[in-house]
Amino acid sequence: MAMTISELARSAGVGVETVRFYQRKGLIFDPKPAQLGGASGRRHYGPDEARRLILSVRPGVTDRATIEFRDEERLLAAASDPERAYVEQVMPIKQRYYLDYVARRSLAGDVGILIDTLRAVLGRADS
């Protein structure tokens, strides 16, 4: 599925300028001329560009998606079609978290994620 730059940004939960930033860094490539949107001249991007954004950073021990979906197995077990529920409900939210992290990563943000993880783990131990 081809997307314009604004559609790619919206699906990733980031701004167009974030996508352009990663283009300038060489992480996302401008589409080849054959991929340009016909007479309109719009560039069209595929799912590989979103994947490249996410994979541009080393994975960490924990992240916001892990905290939010710490009971993911229960959510999916309750669904009539677990694979569809994952693809349509869980994956888009996780992707937004990952792309947000790529765009805004910092030491303070990482410390906040670690603290929130500890809170989630300790809160679960109390229940």
Identify the sign of the CA torsion 33, 34, 35, 36: positive
Q: What is the pLDDT of residue 95?
A: 82
Q: Which domain holds residue 37?
A: 1-56
Burial of residue 99 (number of CB atoms within 10 Å: 0-12, 13-18, 19+): buried
Q: Which of 22, 37, 56 is the last residue of a domain?
A: 56
Provide block-wise average pLDDT over 10 residues at a time, the chain (127 residues). Answer: 74 75 73 51 68 66 86 91 89 84 83 91 67
In the prediction, which pLDDT does 1 show?
Answer: 55
Instruction: Give the CA dihedral 110, 17, 12, 65, nearest 10 degrees.
Output: 10
Provide the CATH number for the domain around residue 39: 1.10.1660.10
Q: Based on the domain organization, do 50 and 66 belong to the same domain?
A: no
Split into its structural domains, the chain has a count of: 2
> Model's pTM, two decimal places?
0.55
CA 107 to chain CA mean position, Å: 19
How confident is the model at residue 31, as a pLDDT? 64
Q: Which of 33, 30, 35 is nearest to 52 (CA)?
A: 30
Structural domain ending residue among the three candidates 13, 34, 56 = 56
The reply to whether 80 and 111 lie within a common domain is yes
- 86/91 Cα distance (integer angstroms): 6
